[in-house]
Amino acid sequence: MPRPSYLPEFPGSMASVATHELVRKTYALLAATLVVTAVAAMFGMSMAFPYQHPFILMILAFGALFAILFTGAKQGPLALPLVFVFTGLMGLSLGPMLAVTLQLSNGPLIVAESAIGTAAIFGGLSLYAWISKRDFSFMGGFLFVGLIIVILAGIANFFLQMPALQLTVASAALFIFSGYTLVDTSRLVRGGETNPIFITVSLYLDVLNIFLSLLQILSFLQGRRR
Distance CA 13, CA 104 (A): 53
The pTM of the full predicted model, rounded to 2 decimals, is 0.89
d(CA 184, CA 179): 9
For residues 220 and 181, give the distance between their C-alpha atoms in angstroms, rounded to a whole number: 24
What pLDDT shows up at residue 3?
40
- Domains of the chain, by residue range, sit at 13-222
| pLDDT on residue 74 | 65
Question: Phi and psi at residue 200, in whole multiples of 5°?
Answer: -65, -45
Q: Which stretches of the chain score pLDDT less than 50?
A: 1-14
Closest by CA to 176, choosing from 124, 219, 134, 141, is: 141
CA 34 to chain centre: 9
pLDDT at residue 73 in the model: 64
Return d(Cα 101, Cα 110) in angstroms, integer: 8
